[in-house]
Amino acid sequence: MGWNRAPDWSADGQLVAFVSQRGAPLASVGSLGGTIVVRSLATGEEREIVPRLASIGTQVRWSPDGRFFLAHGRNASGTGFFRLSAQTGEAELVLREDPPGYVQFPVWAPDSRNLFYLRTTPDASNRLHVQDLETGEDRELLPRSTNNLALSPDGRSLVVRFSDAEGEASVLAIVPAGGGEARELLRVLRPRVLPPWSGLAWTSDARHILFVQTSEASTPQPFELWRISIEGGSPQPTGIATERLHDLRVHPDGERIVFAAGQHRTEVWVMEDFLGR
């Protein structure tokens, strides 16, 4: 019973970390009393880190210097994203969440000092922000609602996902990490969609974007992994398709990826004559 998700590579590519839920989940959707597992690709050996949090969410990112994890959770300090020691699980709140100001999809800059993330505003839009962890300076980078993001390996550009004003298309765009105009890269028209919370990543050579698309058909459709050049053009299928592909990460060598797949299902059952009457 349980599940594993939110995988991420170490900077040297020798380790993969993920959140592991062992046993029955908590009643609150999206939270769990989970463990961060660090697994060696060479030996298969696993080390467990129990975060010093009352609960931990399902978004975890490894810092480029390997010293910390970034994880959503809560403790006496508040709710939001915490910087966790990769050795002890000691937690420090760095992105506070004050509803309706939810924070999502944070990613580390290569210097481990700045965080790019989405913050929900009172009008329910998600705005792209960057925060300096040393000074606390926080600023908005893109004045429009955004649904997902991924940072280029050199830290100079972001790819973001949003819906057009009419809600008829899903859009991928490139945004300078220092702020500026968004350059549209891809527009996908309904009934095809780019799921807002699914996989989005740069290849290690920064020449392509990996993204997930699916269909709005009434029956569940597989999530397909595609790629597109950062210069634009026609997207290409990778041949990978599975149920609810998400949490996509590219290995530093550019030859492997790790992701989570599958979904939680709730079912109602009836038991007849279980008392034998």
Sequence ranges of the domains in the chain: 1-97
Name the DSSP letter for residue 200.
Answer: E
- What is the reported pLDDT for 29? 37
pTM (predicted TM-score)? 0.87
Where does the pLDDT of residue 23 fall: very low under 50, low under 70, confident under 90, or very high at 90 and above? low
Q: For residue range 83-140, what is the model confidence (pLDDT) as tens digits?
A: 999 999 899 999 998 776 788 899 999 999 999 999 988 887 899 999 999 999 999 9
Contacts of 84 (CB under 8 A, 6+ apart): 36, 49, 51, 52, 53, 68, 69, 70, 71, 90, 91, 92
Distance of CA 190 to the CA centre of its chain: 24
Amino acid letter for position 223? F
Cα separation, 72 vs 103, in Å, equals 9
Cα separation, 77 vs 95, in Å, equals 11
**Placement of tokens 């210069």 in the chain:** 231
